[in-house]
Amino acid sequence: MIVKILEVKKREVDIDDVMIRVPVREDDDMPEDYPGRFGNEWTAHVYPNTGQIKRWLDGFPSLNLCLKVTNQGTYVASSGDDVIVAVEQDYVPSWIPNEFGDYIELDISSTGRIQNWNPKDFASALEDYNEEKEQQQFL
In this structure, is residue 83 part of a structural domain? yes
Return the sign of the alpha-carbon dihedral for residues 65, 31, 18, 113. negative
In this structure, is residue 10 part of a structural domain? no
In this structure, is residue 2 part of a structural domain? no
Q: Which residues are within 8 A (CB) of 50 and not within 5 positions of it... i.e. 6 or more apart?
A: 113, 117, 119
Domain range for 99 is: 15-137
In this structure, is residue 35 part of a structural domain? yes
Kindly write down the DSSP assignment for every residue of 1-23, as one continuous string: --------------EEEEEEEEE
Dump pLDDT digits (tens) for 84-137. Answer: 888 888 788 889 998 777 889 999 999 999 999 999 999 998 888 888 877 666
In this structure, is residue 4 part of a structural domain? no
Dump pLDDT digits (tens) for 18-47. Answer: 999 999 988 888 899 999 999 999 999 999
**3-state SS assignment for residue 96:** coil
- pTM, full prediction: 0.86
Nearest-angstrom CA–CA distance, 88 and 91:
7
In this structure, is residue 3 part of a structural domain? no
In this structure, is residue 71 part of a structural domain? yes
The domain tally of the chain equals: 1
Cβ-contact 42, 21 below 8 angstroms: yes
89-117 residues labelled b (16+ CB within 10 A) or e (exposed): eebbbbbbbbeebebbbbbbbeebbbeeb
